[in-house]
Amino acid sequence: MKIAILGAGVAGVASAIAFKLKGHDVTVVERRDADTNIGAGIVVWPNAAFVLDRFGVLDDMAAVAGRPRAMQRLSRHGDDLGALDIGLIDGRMGYPSLSILRGDFQRILLARLQALGVDVRYGHNVVRIDAGTVVHFDDGSTLAADLVVGADGRMASCARRYVTGDATPVYQGFINWIGICEGDFDADTILDYWGTGERFGIVPVGRDKAYWAGGAAQATIGARNPDDYRDELQRIFADWPEPVRRVIAAAPAARINKIYVHDHDPVPTWHRDKLVMIGDAAHAALPTSGQGACQALEDAWHLANCVDAHPANLDQALAAFTALRFQKTAGITMAGRGLAASLFNRDEAFCRERDRASRQADFAGLAAAMADGWRRHLPL
């Protein structure tokens, strides 16, 4: 089958690998001129590690990744709010959790794609889709395919507009500044500091580097000026614990990014004609879900399997794929919103109560629930 994939982010590249491994004729088109990305790092949870293993890249990822064992919650004064045992999640799911820089993650996926003989056509900006099979670019050229996979992200997806008539994401009232940093870190422990309407997370990738994210509630979308990012962070987190201040001071300014964080309301329809949307185009979840890229990988694996299982009926294949994926991804989107609503709440009394509840939480039960939710529909 001739398959056109829109977007060379996680979902697009992973989907290209999955379809190519099943022998399809795959073309990936990407509007960026080259392989660049604005991200810092991701945690590959065991459900995603399973998919990466099936794609033949898990060992390459593990070779450059960290292997965090715990996520330690702390107040913005450094008080212990309890810790999630990541080893329990890994043990229950049978695959490791890995922390990896976004650049390494994308480079390894792309290398696999190239080894399979698929090139990404950069500088191809999709502007319109006809009949779910003809893709139009801004230079007037077109690409026809038997199946179009829309993996063009959360902010203005042509695929989502084609399927649902609207691709406008929902601003969720907080900013994330993200970056990477070298230094001396406890490789085993992710640090997650909770304030009042503010949060700071530090994720080690081995002993000598980490990626991090600082978040703060902000009701409306404002300016983005890269020259100001470090000052903004230093103002907000001025009296937070030393690891936070150290990371902000040490982060290379050119690698700090600022994101007004959006997601999408879940929609149960993901396909129209011969086009199906996947990844953030279909179900963008907030970073507080921790699962955006992981779910994009799951989409890629499941979609190729569904198409394989219904060789004579693409409509059935796409309906089966959507039915399989909708509830799991919608649950993750809503969980991300729930945590964000709690973390970015500016009410002092609410946050005091939230922190008290965290200190008394059943973290072993939480780890088991997370593992059971994430392994759904996977042979783990």
- The contact set with ligand FAD (CB under 6 A) reads 6-12, 29-32, 39, 42-43, 124-126, 151-153, 158, 176, 178, 259, 261, 279-280, 287, 290-294, 296
Quick one: tokens of 166?
């609207």
Residue with smaller CB distance to ligand FAD, 168 or 316: 168
Cα distance between residue 69 and residue 270, in whole Å? 36
Q: Which is nearer to ligand FAD, 158 or 233 (CB)?
A: 158
Whether the CB-CB separation of 285 and 292 falls below 8 Å is answered with: yes
Residue spans of alpha helices (H) in 132-194: 158-164
C-beta of 352: minimal distance to ligand FAD in Å? 27
| Closer to ligand FAD by Cβ: residue 32 or 230 | 32
Q: In whole angstroms, what is the distance from residue 8 CA to residue 36 CA?
A: 10
Amino acid at 316: Q
Minimum gap (Å) between residue 376 Cβ and ligand FAD: 16
Q: At what angle do helices 229-236 and 242-250 cross, to 10 degrees?
A: 170
- Round to the nearest angstrom and report the end-to-end CA distance of the chain: 30
Q: Which is nearer to ligand FAD, 133 or 310 (CB)?
A: 133
What's the half-sphere exposure (Cβ side, CA atoms, 13 Å) at 220?
Answer: 2
What's the closest the beta carbon of residue 154 comes to ligand FAD, in angstroms? 6
Structure tokens at 157: 């997806």
**Is the CB of residue 333 less than 8 Å from the CB of residue 283?**
yes
- Residue 91 corresponds to which tokens in the numbers above? 């043990």
**Which residues make Cβ contacts (< 8 Å) with residue 360, sequence separation at least 6?**
none
- Residue whose CB is less far from ligand FAD, 6 or 110: 6
Comparison of 116 and 350: residue with beta carbon closer to ligand FAD = 116
User: How many Å apart are CA 204 and CA 132, to the nearest integer?
Assistant: 43
Nearest distance, CB of residue 190 and ligand FAD, angstroms: 10
CB of 31 to ligand FAD, least distance (A): 4
Q: Which C-beta is closer to ligand FAD: that of 11 or that of 61? A: 11
Q: What is the dihedral of CA 144, 148, 154, 156, to 10 degrees?
A: 30
Q: How far is the CB of 167 from ligand FAD (least distance, A)?
A: 10
Q: How far is the CB of 312 from ligand FAD (least distance, A)?
A: 29
